[in-house]
Structure 1
Amino acid sequence: MRRLRGVIAVLNHARTFMLLAAMTALFLGIGYLIGGSGGIVIAFMIAAAMNVFAYWNSDKVVLRMYGAREVDARSAPELVGLVRQLALRAGLPMPRVYIMDNDQPNAFATGRNPQNAAVAATTGLLRSLTQEEIAGVMAHELAHVRNRDTLTMTITATIAGAIGMLANFAFFFGAAGDNRNNPLGIVGALLLMIVGPMAAALVQFAISRTREYEADKLGAEICGQPLWLASALQRLEQLAGRVDNHAAERNPATAHMFIVNPLHGGSMDNLFSTHPATANRIRRLRELAGSGTVAGKRGPWG
């Protein structure tokens, strides 16, 4: 069974790598359509610069975006103590812990690597969930940290944004250029402006959904109780849709970071969803609990 789980994990990582490669190829392809071989070089330089900036600054940007405040053992002893115990079980350095003043129950993780990670929970989550359910949610976020999903999703979001930027540039380039210097033309540029970002979004969403399933599974193993996370997801599904997350609505590109979709009307498990259907996630967690492979491994908080 352990060997099978290892094979599945390798296949999922391979799928993520192939999707990232596809997104990068799409970005370079748009650069080629705009400017030929020189366009590829320019596109590569833009992508490299954006990813360097995102690598070093994305966590600070997103935490500031959501007005998150850092807490410690004095200001939030229960949450910080819980995260400390879970990080120990996960074999991770203690991440920075943040609280967002937001009534929508939700949470996310960020940071370029486990040594520079941060986890953030909303005040709505801390008020609405039991201690066991909060443990399940925090374990899920630490699973993202251990799998380095925070870096992967930062890169995909950055490349997706760059593709949108290039596609818009292609439209203006196509509108202003002539057929001798511009292989796209106005019609081709218009199609590229529409299809390019849509294709990038599809790849980004596919990567996000794959990583959510993996984080659910590893998070269940970290906290030792898959049903804690299943219960948390069920409650979050019911509660999050009733409360607006205005910061997320203003910045929809960050929606994939949260444990459940913070945007309204996007919970279906389809091509355009940033998250798998919650019912599917709960079903998998209940199957994992029924298998008995991780159940009963309670932590000091249980």
Structure 2
Amino acid sequence: MSASPHIDENLRQRRKLQNSLQTALLAGGSVGLLALCAYIIAGPEGVFWAALGGSFSLYVATHVSPQMVLGLYRARPLPASVFPEGHHILLVLARRAGLPSVPVLYYVPSKMMNAFAVGRPEEAVICVTDGLIRKLTAREFAGVLAHELSHIRNGDVRVMALADIVARMTSTMSFLGLFLFFFHMPSMLEGGGNVPWLLILLLVAAPTVGTLLQLALSRTREFDADLDAVDLTGDPEGLASALLKLERVQGRMWEAMALPGARIPDPSILRTHPATDERVRRIRALTRSVEPFDFDHAAPISGKSFVPKIGNPRFRARGLGLWY
């Protein structure tokens, strides 16, 4: 794909390399931490079984039908006859991204402004909420779709599934290791043996460190998806404007629907997404030209909703909480 005349390609490539290195270091650190916990518990055999279990879990997680996730959000297909502008933008961007197939566009009946992608590049789905369709311009909508397409093309669904599996397995190994240590501690003390406090301390800290590595990896993948979105649209201001509008309209709540779940907003190391002002600063730094872009439409897109008006959220029992 040739460089867009609207962006600073040299800066984008430097940021891309930086994100790739950070991804490799964070993912490697997470896997290394899991291997260390497994080795403490059962030696080389523990590492082997941890790798085998992790590989199987990753295969299952990445081959589950997107329909299972879509059902949780009451998502339904959004046909081109209802939303022609959105489908046209998606088609153009998917072709630019070089995906093997165009993702299917789904609609979520929620007032929240949000979009998320599920599935593999061969059978991906992008969900957009009613609030997003109603409140973004076509230019902003293109930036959001490009961001989600970048997640699909970069395999971020698989990367974050792996990170989640590794973090959960690390926590499980930590609990198991601490249980075994404290179970055998009386016999160790009676026999005059030394208590391996350093190993115990490592097992205590492992779940927290693993979670922090997972969150840092998520933020890095968001930065990378922003970069690739700008490359697909050639329009940094479109995505920047969409992010600012999301933050202004509903603050940090918009991330609560994004997989893998809601973030804790402060401090920054506990966020799944980077701070909006930092994302916007990085995106706008790529701008090299102010020439108009293909999707530079100031008017709101005219997608027709499946539901004419979304009411206030209702509270559902059995721990399901608010639901639109």
* TM-score, L = length of structure 1: 0.81
Q: Is the 8 A contact 1:224 1:299 kept in 2?
A: no
Contact 1:85–1:300 under 8 Å retained in 2: no
Q: Is 1:37 matched up with 2:35?
A: no
Displacement of 1:227 after TM fit? Answer: 0.9
Question: Residues 167 and 221 (structure 1 numbering): CA distance in 2 closer, same or farther, change over 3 Å?
Answer: same
Q: Which residues of 2 match residues 91-106 of structure 1 at below 5 A? A: 91-92=98-99, 93-106=101-114
Q: Which moved more, 1:5-14 or 1:29-38?
A: 5-14
Q: Quote the offset at 1:244 in angstroms.
A: 7.9
**Rg larger in structure:** 2
Matches of 1:288 and 1:54, distance apart in 2? 35
Q: Are the aligned partners of 1:171 and 1:192 in contact in 2 as well (CA < 8 Å)? A: no
Aligned AA (1:36): G
Kindly indicate whether structure 1 or structure 2 has the higher relative contact order, using CA contacts under 8 Å at least 6 residues apart: 2
1:156-177 deviation per Cα after TM superposition (whole angstroms, max 9, x unaligned)? 1221122223223333333434
Letter in 1 for 2:236: P
The alignment yields a C-alpha RMSD, in angstroms, of: 3.2
Provide the secondary structure at the position in 1 that maps to 2:286: helix
The 1:173–1:75 alpha-carbon spacing in structure 2 relative to 1, beyond 3 Å, is: farther
The equivalent of 2:283 in structure 1 is 285
Paired residues of 2:12 and 2:286 also in contact (CA < 8 A): no
| 1:150 lines up with 2:150 in the alignment | no
TM-score by length of 2: 0.76
- 1: CA distance, partners of 2:26 / 2:93: 30
Structure 2 Cα separation of the partners of residues 300 and 287 of structure 1: 19
Change (3 A) 1:282 1:60: same
- Quote how far apart the aligned CAs of 1:138 are: 0.7
Partner Cα separation in structure 2 for residue 235 and residue 144 of structure 1: 21
1:218 matched to 2:228:
yes
| Amino-acid identity (%) | 33
Write the distance in 2 (CA, Å) between the matches of 1:81 and 1:285: 24
- In structure 1, C-alpha distance between the alignment counterparts of 2:286 and 2:291, rounded to whole Å: 8
Q: CA deviation at 1:119?
A: 1.3
Give a deviation string over 1:19-41, Cα, whole Å, max 9, x none.
21111111111111222222222
- The separation in 1 between residues aligned to 2:255 and 2:11, in whole angstroms, is 39
Which structure 2 residue ranges, 5 or more long, are not aligned? 1-7, 299-324
Structure 2 counterpart of 1:207 = 217
Q: Secondary structure at the match of 1:39?
A: helix
CA distance in 2, matches of 1:27, 1:166: 8
Equivalent-residue separation in structure 1 for 2:247 and 2:97 (angstroms) = 26
For 1:197 and 1:64, locate their aligned partners in 2 and report how far apart those are by CA, in whole Å: 31
Q: Residues 142, 253 of structure 1: CA spacing in aligned structure 2 closer, same or farther, 3 A cutoff? A: closer
* AA in 2 matched with 1:135: A
Alignment match of 1:173 (pick from 159, 167, 180)? 180
Shift of residue 120 of structure 1? 1.4
Q: Is contact 1:226-1:295 (8 Å) kept?
A: no
| Secondary structure, aligned partner of 1:99 | strand
Question: Match of 1:23?
Answer: 30
- Give the alignment of 1:1-302 within 5 angstroms: 2=9, 5-57=12-64, 59-92=66-99, 93-112=101-120, 114-178=121-185, 191=201, 194-241=204-251, 248=257, 254-255=260-261, 262-263=262-263, 265-266=264-265, 270-289=268-287, 291-292=288-289, 296-299=292-295
Residue identity opposite 2:126 in structure 1: V
Distance in 2, matches of 1:55 and 1:180, equals 44
Q: Give the drift of 1:253.
A: 6.8
On the 8 A contact 2:106/2:128 being kept in 1, the answer is yes
Q: 1:259 maps to which residue? A: none
**Alignment gaps of 5+ in structure 1:** 256-261
Q: Tell me the secondary structure at the aligned position of residue 288 of structure 1.
A: coil
Question: Structure 1: how far apart are the matches of 2:18 and 2:252?
Answer: 37
Aligned pair in 2 of structure 1 residues 108, 130: CA closer, same or farther (>3 Å)?
same
Q: Whole-Å Cα distance in 1 between the matches of residues 182 and 294 of structure 2?
A: 62
Shift of 1:47: 0.9
